[in-house]
Amino acid sequence: SVVNISTTTIIKGRKNDYPTFPPGSPFEEFFKQFENPQGGKQRTQALGSGFIIDAKGYIITNNHVIDNAEKIRVSLYDDTSFEATVIGKDPKTDIALLKINPKKTKLKAVKLGNSNKLRVGDWVMAIGNPFGFGGTVTAGIVSARGRNIGGSYDDYIQTDASINRGNSGGPLFDMSGNVVGVNTAIFSQSGGSVGIGFAVSSNLAKQVSDQLRKYGRTKRGWLGVLIQEITKEIADSLDLKNTSGALVSSATEGGPAFKSGIKSGDVILKFNNFEIKK
């Protein structure tokens, strides 16, 4: 179910600022050997990982693995390879959905688990294509939940399972064989694994991939509010019995929440009939 992904990307190279010489000059032939025949463009190749979520050929990977790629090649465990097309991608969550045509090849899809049930200390396994070594399995534990690493929708699972370049887009499995995350990033000053890796939760990846499959893009609603936790001091100043709920610190003028009458200083106790607990 885990696949290796190789991409070919064209990048613009620097122009050769060589002097011009009159036709027939001996220097003309000399400098020709340094010219780029593609007019300043160069092809670069990169490696990544992914996993099959549907036997029809749908594959989840990271957006940064296939972003700006001219060609995307997907290889199975038996080295069977297919050219893939991009169904959709979402840079904000770094999730992309690919599609291959398996023809007569029978594909095996993974089972997506409920990442909300993960606990710190649970054992997990990462499978991917680090440095081109396909089918590499590493094990570790969930080190932390809800990590913020500077993205738009930060809710990363931190793990100490070894994750390196080429692991991006590969699955993070729980001990029941369910995918609970998509290996996405590492924290490292050396460029190699130091035991701090991050994975997008499977619940978020499923939500995004379902929308990419249906619409080719993600659709997001917005409330137009900034909220903050209610501290004991804030609760006392507002005569609240406890610190449950969310305090509206500001409401965007003209936004949906503003139009519905929500103002700065309001406390939201329930959302869609669910109590907001600290």
The catalytic site residues sit at 64, 94, 168
Residue showing tokens 């200390």:
121
Closest CA to 161 of 187, 137, 132, 129: 137
Residue showing tokens 């190789």:
6
Burial class (CB in 10 A: 0-12, 13-18, 19+), 247: buried
Q: Which residues of 221-232 are buried (b: 16+ CB within 10 A; e: fewer)?
A: eebbbebeebee
Closest CA to 111 of 63, 166, 60: 60
Q: How far apart are CA 275 and CA 278, in angstroms?
A: 10
